[in-house]
Amino acid sequence: MAEALTSTSLTREDLTRWARECGFDLVGITAALPLPQFELFQQWVQRGRAAGMTYLTDHRMDARRDPRHLLPSAQSILMAGVLYNSREPSIGTLDDLTRAWISRYAWGADYHDVLRARFEQLARRLPPGIAYRICVDTAPLLERDYARAAGLGWIGKNTCLINQGQGSWFFLGAMLLSVELPTDAPPPDRCGSCTRCIDACPTSAIVPTGQATPAWELHAGLCISYHTIESREATPETLRAAFGTHVFGCDICQDVCPWNRRAPRTAAEEFQPRTFAPPLEQMAALTEEQFRALFRQTPVWRAKYRGFLRNVCTAMGNAPRREYLPVLEQLAQHADPAVREHARWALVEAAKALPE
């Protein structure tokens, strides 16, 4: 009879092999200790770069200082990544302005559910006596920094984690473990002098820090993704024209990254496109129930119905067509003030662009 595993007999090799068998493409281990990058995070928040994301600045902020706030017995962190790059083209090759652009990570199922299910499958393999906590983008944990420490990649100028062989199209999750395991080492930064992400950003959201490391940071208040996903307010009018037909998120800084030229495609069925670049006119006409049916189990749900309509109005204003006018006139009377404002702005833009 085979001897049962115990918490002391768990090896790094077993854990990482099991993680890959559970569907994780990138796997690494780091210590469950504070990182010096927390101070950089604090400085970023103090400079106002978090914009309206209060969940980054409220009482949960200090919890990010030490992962043991999440699991007091934690000694190691398994950091894992799942690729989501699928077969459809990038926005740079999509020239149909009648279509709404949705960020690649939101084309398929909600990654929170997918990654959590894989971590739970992994947890069932753990020997008795090991305490653990699963974190998938909702717990106060500096996931990218711990992923870097675990050897999964370096943090690029666009603030995405970049893996030399697999690019940056992957979701991250963590499993805190009450067992000490050998750790991986962070890789070197390989962005070099490249500034393609900085140059390509239509709102200049990647800004200099004035420091040597990191030299660049994301200003959320200028970021298309922040305004189309996180914000519930009307977008500043000075930014709207730069949004193009983006209605949820933005991939530009990843699309232009040289490390994504040969990024592998995912075979995971969960991340194959369900709704790729849907027609703007159809999106503007969605009822709340139709929006729920179409997007409830995808990341697009985070924008909420009214936020999504606001974003569709912006896109219609940036690519005006005569057939949009009736639905924009209806949305200009919407109960939500941000939807009303963006619809009225789009009608003004249409009046400038369309011949009498």
pLDDT on residue 60 = 87
Residues with Cβ within 8 Å of residue 143, at least 6 apart in sequence: 79, 135, 137, 172, 173, 174
- pLDDT of the residue at 2: 38
- Angle, helices 288-295 vs 304-318, to 10°: value is 90
Residue 62 bears catalytic tag? no
- Using alpha carbons, select from 37, 14, 38, 40 the residue that is nearest to residue 27: 14
Nearest to 274 by CA among 298, 258, 290: 298
Closest CA to 88 of 172, 169, 161, 199: 169
Q: What whole-number distance in Å separates Cα of residue 68 and Cα of residue 75?
A: 8
Relative orientation angle of helices 337-353 and 304-318, to the nearest 10 degrees: 10
3-state DSSP assignment of residue 293: helix
- Environment class of residue 223 by beta-carbon count within 10 Å: exposed (0-12), middle (13-18) or buried (19+)? buried
Strands 76-83 and 170-177: antiparallel
pLDDT at position 92: 59
Given this model, what pLDDT does residue 7 score? Answer: 57
Q: What is the pTM (predicted TM-score) of this model?
A: 0.94
**Average pLDDT of adjacent 10-residue blocks, the chain of 356 residues:** 56 97 98 97 96 92 95 98 84 79 95 98 97 96 98 98 97 98 98 98 97 95 98 98 97 96 93 90 98 96 98 98 98 98 98 88
R_g of the chain, CA atoms, integer Å: 22
Phi, psi dihedrals of residue 199, rounded to the nearest 5°: -70, -30
Catalytic entry in 66, 137, 184, 189:
137
Q: Residue 182 in contact with residue 29, Cβ under 8 Å?
A: yes
